[in-house]
Amino acid sequence: MSQIQIRIGKALFFLCFLATSFGLVQGSNEEVLSSIPVREVTVFKDGHAFVLHEGELATNDQGNIVLDTLPRPVIGTFWPYSAETHTRLSATVTGKEIVTVDKTALSIRELIEANLGKRVLIRDNYESHPYEATLVRLLERTTEELQESSVPGSDPALPQKSDVLLIRVAEGVRAVQVGHIQKITFLDEPCDTIHEEEFRNVMTLKLDWEGKPQNTAQVGMVYLQRGIRWIPNYRIDIDGQGKAHLKLQATLVNELTDLHDTTVHLVIGVPSFAFKDTVDPISLQESVAQLSSVFRENAQTAYAFSNAIMTQAAMPSPRFSETRSRGDTIDLGPEVIGSGGNEDLYVFTLEHVTLKKGQRMVVSVTEYNLEYRDVFVLDLPFGPPPEVRQNFNSQQQQQLAELLAAPKAQHVIRLKNDGEHPITTAPALILREGKLIAQGMTKYTAIGASGDVELTSAVDISVKKLDEETERTPSAMRWNNSDYARSDLHGQITLTNHKDKTITLEVTRSVLGHIDSATQEGTIEHLGRHEGWLTSGVPVWWNWYNWPYWWYHLNSIGRMQWETTLEAGQSIELQYQWHYFWRM
């Protein structure tokens, strides 16, 4: 090839590039499609995110901005705006439109479409030798033609492309089938980019310009949408002397949109989103986008975790409602569902976050020092009275025995939150002087409050519990024309400290009936129906029996609590008396 031919070929290639870039080739009257960057995003633990887009974007011939992507916002949360001083956003319109996009040619037909007007050598099924021709036109019915020939009111249609190619040869213009072409040789430097029309959901921001429309405009939008979640987790280093160093890190899960140099706000607590399952019609979507199982509230791990953290507020001692049957598991999967239900909103801010859609990131959030103390907690739940237990089947009897057998004290560390941030509900890795000792779970602890993190069962604190009926009085009470017997009972809890140091013990004992007395300065509390224990504070076996209406009138649930210290090798006896009524 001569130097002149090489120069001509380069020149033709450059002209092809210019034609592709500036819309000089056929079918290039396309909209100016833009993507508006994300500047800030506020992320909640339930997977919702409040997203702020803003940027300076190119306008089209009408002075409007056309966006190539649509969010799926929660209804009532989508708010677009113009940031231009003298330009007002008059309307935002979404719809399916036919737009022209650039694509790389991937077939003979597309290469022909990209090089109309070029000289080629064609070898087909009907000619024995290649022949020279000029590519003229690929026959198609345009969108406008289809619209004119269709029923009024019909939806727009994409062009109907045929396989018929018009070429100019020495004899005139010839029509050939593209599928019959065996080989095509380009005598001019070919282009490999086509301009193809397709349907796309687009959003048009219509701007009212006071004067002549400018080439660019500063616009933005905010909305709430599900698709980004942050999962908190803690590392707690204790020194064994009452000092703890707490580190919080966040795992970000992004299935919403690309973030580039974005400010991210991580929120402790989740506000109520009344219409979170209803998508705004502006999105042109009928339902919420299907995300991975990380975001599904009905996932099995979500159910397990939400049950495990049913009571969020940290208390200095175990609550009656926290009693769980043996065998229940805490699935620390990413679905921290409901973990912000009782939490005050608090925001951590991260700057310059870059995270593409589909990526995950672990990032350090904060760290600070706290004080803690070791506490040994024993929670003894109540069991059913004999009159109820005799109605259980063998499987239920076995499950009940496992629930009530061999109670053990739990070793917890009680963190006093004197830091600048609340502690949220999250998995926690507990270390002592750099060595792993347990994994537990923090509960929401406000600034100034204290919260427990469970470490392990205290096997070197022996627990013995003995309950016995001391007296039964027939016809002890008459109510509503029925007689009721009274059962008086005595209980004793014996605790022995086999450790080599003095420990702090907190014991809770719950019983069915009314508590008469408790030794060792135990506090007594009676729970009635108005406390709500019937819906959240009863053990699993409670619903195995159809409790009669009179039971709630004559009885309640009693709870005793003791807090004491126990020296190494010493024992303590906690005694109590209670009674309940039963229909004869």
What span, in angstroms and rounded, lies between the C-alpha atoms of 449 and 423? 10
Measured between alpha carbons, how far apart are the two ends of the chain, in Å? 114
Can you read off the two tokens belonging to residue 402?
Answer: 């496992």
Other residues' Cβ atoms within 10 Å of the Cβ of residue 550 = 15
Instruction: Quickly state the pLDDT bin for 283 (edges 50, 70, 90).
Output: confident
Identify the pLDDT of residue 316: 37
- pLDDT confidence of residue 561: 96
Q: Which domains does the chain have, with CATH numbers?
A: 3-35+76-218 (2.30.30.520)
pLDDT at 116: 92
Task: Identify the band that residue 22 occupies on the pLDDT scale cut at 50, 70 and 90.
Answer: very low
Which of the two residues, 492 and 15, has the higher pLDDT score? 492
CA dist 524 and 512 (Å) reads 13
* Three-state helix/strand/coil letters over 30-43: CCCEECCCEEEEEE
- For 20, phi then psi, to 5°, come to -70, -40
User: Residue 536's pLDDT is what?
Assistant: 54
Q: Do 446 and 344 form a contact (C-beta atoms < 8 A)? A: yes
Above pLDDT 90, what percent of the chain?
A: 52
Residue-wise pLDDT tens digits, 80-96: 999 998 899 999 998 88
What gap in Å lies between CA 372 and CA 382, rounded to an integer? Answer: 30
Lowest mean pLDDT: which of 26-30, 38-42, 347-351, 397-401?
Answer: 26-30
For 282, residues 6+ apart whose C-beta sits below 8 A from its C-beta are 70, 73, 78, 92, 94, 203
Question: Which amino acid is it at 171?
Answer: E
Going from the C-alpha of 539 to that of each of 254, 339, 348, 444, 524, the distances in angstroms are 39, 22, 38, 24, 20
Residues 205-222, mean pLDDT to the nearest whole number = 91
pLDDT at residue 308 above 80?
Answer: no
Q: For residue range 411-462, what is the model confidence (pLDDT) as tens digits?
A: 999 999 998 899 999 999 999 988 999 999 999 999 999 999 999 999 999 9
pLDDT at 354 over 60: yes
pLDDT, the chain, mean: 82
Show the tokens assigned to 3.
Answer: 């130097």
Q: What is the pTM of this model?
A: 0.73
The yes-or-no verdict on residue 395 having pLDDT over 50 is yes
Tens of pLDDT along 357-387? 999 999 999 999 999 999 999 999 888 988 8
In the predicted model, what is the mean pLDDT of residues 229-253?
Answer: 94
- The pLDDT value given to residue 10: 40
pLDDT for residue 355 is more than 90: yes
Q: Mind listing the pLDDT tens digit for each residue in 33-46? A: 678 899 999 999 88
Half-sphere CA count of 96, side-chain side, radius 13 A: 9
